[in-house]
Amino acid sequence: MKPNTDRNAELFERAKRLIPGGVNSPVRAFKAVGGTPRFVQRAQGAYFWDANGQRYIDYIGSWGPMILGHGHPAVLEAVQKAALDGFSFGAPTEREVELAEAIIRLVPSVEMLRLVSSGTEAAMSAIRLARGATGRTKFIKFEGCYHGHADALLVKAGSGLATFGNPTSAGVPAEVVKDTLVLEYNHLAQLEEAFALHGKELACLMIEPIAGNMNFVRASVPFMKRCRELCTQYGALLVFDEVMTGFRVALGSAQSVYAKAIPGFEPDMTVMGKVIGGGMPLAAFGGKRAVMEQLAPLGAVYQAGTLSGNPVATACGLATLREISKPGFFDALSGKTRSLVTGLQQAANAAGVAFSGDSEGGMFGFFLLPALPQNYGAVMKTDGARFNTLFHGLLERGVYIAPALYEAGFVSSAHSDDDIAHTVEAAASLFKILQNK
Ligand SMILES: *Cc1c(COP(=O)(O)O)cnc(C)c1O
């Protein structure tokens, strides 16, 4: 390699001296796949260009927010206009009201909401609110679901259902996760047992309805139905973490997908982020009025933020929601995403490579496994070496997917049929290599 001509490598070396691991969020470091992270210089539509001027078809889209692709003209205009009026005031603005109205119109289970700046903040605050509103401290989360990096959420399963979680990060005291019960995703019997043992002490159950942080795994309809029933029966709040799925898998978010299969289905609270900011730091949590009114300044549960409801971020989010609300938007996006997954499946079949894929709206996942896994343990059985061959091969062919096999992928409305065809073609040539391995 000629180090002086690879700007990505050069920047990575500089970054590593100044920023731990050279990145400001761990997955960007390519640790799982090896190699040099691409430093993005600019992006437009479905593409970004790295520091060497190399173009990639972008299937990450900032991990979900860029549902319209990069630099959508209507969003750009809204952001530029908002920036001229001021960056931040620390006082309320009309656009915060408009954004709240827009979100509530699209997600009817949300009657009131609070805007924050990151999904981590939203999930952390939702748990505090659930605890404050119920007067209970314990809660359930599922292995493989990510709800940001608040202390009480960095936890893995203890040795049994009677024992609670163990921290997954240094610096998280055991006391802080002792009320977090970690269960296996889609494991009905374990769910029943956990509620039988602890139901009356549970403040909430938090779940990614379609898990996007262990690649792409759907909660089964019977499992979700039972989550709802048990929460209602025991007085625990059902909290949907839709930071990734919200306004990404459907205009009404993942809860609208489950409501089609389970009549009257609704979560009590919803955590949102990513798409609602359109690429700006913006997130939210919301739910039933009686619960949300427990929040300061009305209620006793404290929560605050200097940059919450930022005027440039709300302009970006509003413009994004306006575009995705246009008739036919999700039908077109879903069709495109499905055609990608179907194309990959056919290419893998033709090469005799084990493959399974799934998608909903503009979110997808695939596994080098013959059938879709149903939980984290099964996801982690995927062969990392084979995935890495695919990842680096795609990268060389100008296709950028998540640099880890436990992440979901994202298609935007800016991706063209040609982009999809090029991606399938690139993957087909790699499946032939994998076949002979
Ligand atoms: C991304 C994500 C978060 C965390 O959001 P940040 O803005 O990165 O803090 C929380 N929950 C889910 C489901 C996510 O995908």
Is 209 touching ligand 1 by the criterion CB < 6 Å? no
DSSP state of 200: G
pTM score, two decimals?
0.97
CA of 430 to the centre of ligand 1 (A): 31
Identify the residue whose C-alpha is closest to ligand 1 atom 8. 119
Q: Does the CA dihedral 66-72-78-79 come out positive or negative?
A: positive
CB 244 less than 6 A from any atom of ligand 1: yes
CA distance 228 to 207: 11
What is d(CA 308, CA 114) in angstroms, rounded to the nearest whole number? 9
Residue nearest to atom 15 of ligand 1 (CA): 244
Q: By alpha-carbon position, which residue is closest to atom 11 of ligand 1?
A: 147
Q: Which among 270, 274, 282 is the best mutation to test ligand 1's pocket, defined by most ligand atoms within 8 Å of the CB?
A: 274
Q: Which of 146, 258, 400, 406 is catalytic?
A: 146
List C-alpha distances in Å: 34 to 8, 241, 257, 261, 281: 14, 30, 37, 41, 28
Q: State yes or no: is 185 an active-site residue.
A: no
Q: DSSP 3-state assignment of 135?
A: coil
Residue 146 catalytic? Answer: yes
Pull the structure tokens for residue 284. Answer: 């939210």
- Counting ligand 1 atoms within 8 A of each CB, the residue from 124, 127, 149, 213 with the most, and so the one to mutate, is 213
**Active site annotation includes 419:** no
The confidence score (pLDDT) of residue 157 equals 84
Query: b or e along 338-372 (b: 16 or more beta carbons within 10 Å of the residue's beta carbon)?
Result: bbbbebbeebbeebebebbbbbbbbbbbbbbeeeb
pLDDT tens figures, 116-133:
999 999 999 999 999 999
Asked if residue 273 has its Cβ within 6 Å of ligand 1, the reply is: yes
Contact status, residue 419 vs residue 56, Cβ threshold 8 Å: no
> Any idea of the CA torsion for 214, 127, 362, 100, to the nearest 10 degrees?
-170
User: All domains of the chain, ordered by start, with CATH?
Assistant: 7-71+327-434 (3.90.1150.10), 73-324 (3.40.640.10)
How many Cα neighbours within 13 Å face the side chain of 376? 17
Which ligand 1 atom is at minimum distance from the Cα of 211? 13
Cβ–ligand 1 distance for 368 under 6 Å, the answer no
In the predicted model, residues of the chain with pLDDT beneath 50 are 1, 3
Is ligand 1 within 6 A of the CB of residue 407?
A: no
Q: How far is the CA of 148 from the centre of ligand 1 (A)?
A: 5
Rounded CA separation 77/277 (Å): 15
Q: How far is CA 122 from the centre of its chain?
A: 13
Q: Per residue in 266-277, pLDDT tens?
A: 999 999 999 999
Catalytic residue, candidates 179, 241, 268, 419: 241
d(CA 260, CA 100): 24
Q: Quick one: which atom of ligand 1 is closest to the CA of 271? A: 11
| Cβ proximity of 277 and 313 under 8 Å | yes
Using DSSP's 3-state secondary structure scheme, residue 127 falls into: helix
CA of 176 to the centre of ligand 1 (A): 20
Instruction: Tell me which of 56, 274, 376, 419 is the catalytic residue.
Output: 274
Q: What is the pLDDT of residue 4?
A: 58
Tokens 């490579």 belong to 353
One DSSP character per residue, 321-369 reads HHHHTSTTHHHHHHHHHHHHHHHHHHHHHHHT---EEEEETTEEEEESS
Distance, CA of 348 to CA of 216 (rounded, Å): 18
On whether the CB atoms of residues 213 and 246 are closer than 8 A, the answer is: no
Q: Which protein residue has the closest C-alpha to ligand 1 atom 6?
A: 119
Residue of 114, 422, 172 whose CA lies nearest to 296? 114
